[in-house]
Amino acid sequence: MMVSGAGKGGISGLGEVMQLAFVPPDFDAAVAHWTGVMGVGPFFLMENIHLEGMRYKGEPTNAAFDLALAYWGDIQIELIRPRDDQPSIYTGEYAQVGNGLHHVCILVDNVDEARRVCDRQGAEIVIEGELGDSRVIYVDPGQGPGSLVEILQQGEDGPGLFAMIKEAGRSWDGTDPLRTLG
């Protein structure tokens, strides 16, 4: 039996999952859980992020959010805090996952090619935009909340930033669990 999207032609063929992302109802409690109970950290906080040219389901939006990143081994953990009620995947129908998984992220070399693959698979692009020279789309492959896939084409600074955060986690002694990035 052939499964639609099976093999390299499906969304999974774009790359491996490198991140698990959450939009917890209580951001501070989530940071405390991940650092205290799970031992993952330190988290690096980036505040008041707004994607340039951000579109939600094809319509412009001015949504802003904070995010905190840390690594659990080779997997990046992202905690997101919406800053407003503007239309986005961080409010409304896609945010109804409680403390559960909100989305996964994969890295690609070419977001335009990834968009074509997602279109062939019938995945809806729900958010798109740019942050500096990084480009991102978030797609809903059809199963609703918790199944979103972030597809990121990193800009020049992305790999270095992720490497710095990962390295900090390797030698982290539990102090200063939430650090602010400028």
State the pLDDT confidence band at 4, using cuts at 50, 70 and 90.
Answer: very low
Per residue in 62-87, pLDDT tens? 999 999 999 999 999 999 999 999 99
State the pLDDT confidence band at 98, using cuts at 50, 70 and 90.
Answer: confident
- The count of domains in the chain is 1
Q: What is the CATH number of the domain that holds 54?
A: 3.10.180.10
The pLDDT of residue 5 is above 50: no
Residue at 80 is within a domain? yes
Residue at 2 is within a domain? no
pLDDT (0 to 100) of residue 145:
60
State the pLDDT confidence band at 144, using cuts at 50, 70 and 90.
Answer: low
Residue at 96 is within a domain? yes
Residue at 88 is within a domain? yes
Q: Which residue has the tokens 């690594």?
A: 71
Q: Give the span between the Cα atoms of 24 and 14, in whole angstroms.
A: 27
Residue at 1 is within a domain? no
State the pLDDT confidence band at 44, using cuts at 50, 70 and 90.
Answer: very high
* pLDDT (mean) for 178-182: 90
Q: Give the span between the Cα atoms of 78 and 104, in whole angstroms.
A: 9
Name the residue among 122, 113, 116, 119 with its Cα closest to residue 143: 122
Residue span of the structural domain in which 141 resides: 13-170
The pLDDT of residue 1 is above 50: no
Name the residue among 117, 126, 129, 118 with its Cα closest to residue 144: 126
pLDDT (0 to 100) of residue 94:
87
Residue at 161 is within a domain? yes
State the pLDDT confidence band at 10, using cuts at 50, 70 and 90.
Answer: confident
Residue at 19 is within a domain? yes
> 23 Cβ partners below 8 Å, 6+ apart?
79, 80, 81, 82, 90, 95, 97, 102
Percent of the chain with pLDDT over 90: 81
* pLDDT (mean) for 2-10: 54
Residue at 86 is within a domain? yes
Percent of the chain with pLDDT over 70: 92
